[in-house]
């Protein structure tokens, strides 16, 4: 009888672990929405370089953007940073700060400073992954 009890206890322990693992997986299951910082960075680069396909892929549905970019301009965003301002399950607001350098094919250089007083706010919403809905 002792051998049978030992097997029953092992079986119950294994089943409890399997069930607990399954419940934890279901409870913690969430889709990958993507990295909002990477999406914001890719979006602003697409906007500045007039990459309409990329802009559309990274934008919220029914959002239209002005055509402000130039595909011939080289853009240096190595000194651009994003910080989370607010976040919920389905919306995140990021502040973009830092320095961006634009260089035309003719060699003209323009440096824009997005400091704390001149920061740009990106609002992203979860539309089957993070999408950019607004920039202020």
Kindly tell me if the per-residue pLDDT of 71 is higher than 50: yes
| pTM (2 d.p.) | 0.73
Which DSSP helix (H) or strand (E) runs through 19? helix 2-27
Residue 118: predicted pLDDT: 73
Kindly tell me if the per-residue pLDDT of 11 is higher than 70: no
* Cα 102 to the center of its chain, rounded Å: 24
Lowest mean pLDDT segment, chosen from 10-19, 36-45, 93-102: 10-19
Residue 58 structure tokens: 């990274």
The string of pLDDT tens digits covering residues 17-62 is 444 444 444 444 456 899 999 999 999 999 999 999 999 999 999 9
The confidence band for 85, taking pLDDT boundaries of 50, 70 and 90, is very high
Question: How many angstroms separate the CA atoms of 97 and 118, rounded?
Answer: 8
CATH of domain 36-135: 3.10.450.50
Lowest mean pLDDT segment, chosen from 20-29, 61-70, 83-92: 20-29
Kindly tell me if the per-residue pLDDT of 65 is higher than 80: yes
Give which of 134, 132, 133 is closest to 42, Cα–Cα.
132
Task: Report the chain's mean pLDDT, rounded to a whole number.
Answer: 82
């Amino acid at each position: 009888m002792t051998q049978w009890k030992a097997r029953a206890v092992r079986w119950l322990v294994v089943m409890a672990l399997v069930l607990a693992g399954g419940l934890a997986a279901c409870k913690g299951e969430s889709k990958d929405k993507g990295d909002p910082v990477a999406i914001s960075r890719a979006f602003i680069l697409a906007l500045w370089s007039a990459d309409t396909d990329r802009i559309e892929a990274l934008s919220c549905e029914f959002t239209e953007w002005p055509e402000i970019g130039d595909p011939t301009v080289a853009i240096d965003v190595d000194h651009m940073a994003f910080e989370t301002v607010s976040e919920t399950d389905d919306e995140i607001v990021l502040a973009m700060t830092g320095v961006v350098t634009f260089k035309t094919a003719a060699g003209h250089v323009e440096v824009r400073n997005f400091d704390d007083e001149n920061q740009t706010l990106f609002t992203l919403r979860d539309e089957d992954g993070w999408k950019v809905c607004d920039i202020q």
